[in-house]
Chains A and B, each alone.
Chain A
Amino acid sequence: MYDGTVATLFFYLFAASSIALALGVVLGRRLLRSAVCLIGVLGSSAGLILVLGFEFIAGIQVLVFIGGIVVLLLFAIMMTSEGHTFEQRPSAARRVVGGIAATAFFAVTLSVYWNTDFPLVSKEGLAVSHEDVHAIGRKLLSNERDGYIVPFEVISLLLLAALIGGIVIARKHDPEDI
């Protein structure tokens, strides 16, 4: 079943849909529509990650990115726009600068990629599961030399700080407060 053809088909399917939806995110003038397109891009990326064989990361992507971050962005759009979600068209100078920057980045990166021989270790067909959740958990919590226990603790501190900071920044201030 996983003879590579299915994986190739899904790769091109998800690639085309994610590129089209990403253009929708960037070029559209309605922010809500852009956010919905972003949901589509992240879903296509979850599909691509599945094609790569990382089921756990794909699940995390759907749960956290789509379920958390995009919903938060939708909140932000609805709280701050009061119905007029239109955005003015960017000026021509902005579009020229943005186009030049994006195209230059893409050209340079592409030329690097196509001129590099990557030291591939696995050449078998895609759509094979490479999941090892036990290994991820051990890596996250081990205090050996190659463990990630310190970044794990730091990221939990970061989340706590973001929670408290978000509340402090967004609450209503009294005029004579602070």
Chain B
Amino acid sequence: MIPTPTITHWLTLSALLFSIGLYGIFTRRNAVGVLLSIELTLNSAILNILIFNRFVASDDVDGQVLVLFIIAAAAAEAVVALAIFVSFYRHRHTLDVTQANHIYDQGNRTS
């Protein structure tokens, strides 16, 4: 018989998802891949906040409001990251993060 999920089971699931995302952040070479992993960790953080709101403070809605803010910030972050990636790709023709040690393409800006 499988046990009924308690708060510890829920938190374990969330921590596992966060660890998987952390592994992706460390191992991905493509910048968009890194961003995908970051979204994974953000998602697990949202889940964590909601778990605490449900089990520990279930007569409050502060956790849900905080989750709304996190989702909005994640959307803004994705927009700016996409813009940076497009600009970076236009200058370097790659998205390998190990090549991204300059912000400016210095070959074009010799003056």
Contacts and interface: CB of A to CB of B under 8 A. Distances in A.
* Pairing of A with B: yes
Interface of A: 4, 7-8, 11-12, 15, 18-19, 22-23, 25-26, 31, 34-35, 38, 41-42, 45, 48-49, 52-54, 56-57, 60-61, 64-65, 68-70, 72-73, 75-77, 79-81, 87-88, 90, 94-95, 97-99, 101-103, 105-106, 109-110, 113-114, 118-122, 126, 130, 132, 135-136, 139-140, 146, 148, 151, 155, 158-159, 161-163, 165-170, 172, 175
Nearest to B108: A175
A65 B38 CA distance: 13
Contacts of A166: 79-80, 82-83
Main secondary structure of the interface of B (DSSP, over half): helix
Contacts of B11: 109, 113
Interface of B: 2, 4-5, 7-13, 15-30, 32-33, 35-37, 39-40, 43, 46-47, 50-51, 53-59, 61-62, 64-65, 67-69, 71-87, 89-90, 95, 108
A-B pairs, 8 with minimum CB distance: A98-B26, A162-B76, A26-B24, A170-B83, A166-B83, A169-B83, A102-B23, A106-B19
Contacts of A53: 54
B101 to A, nearest CB: 16
A159 B72 contact: yes
Nearest to A28: B33
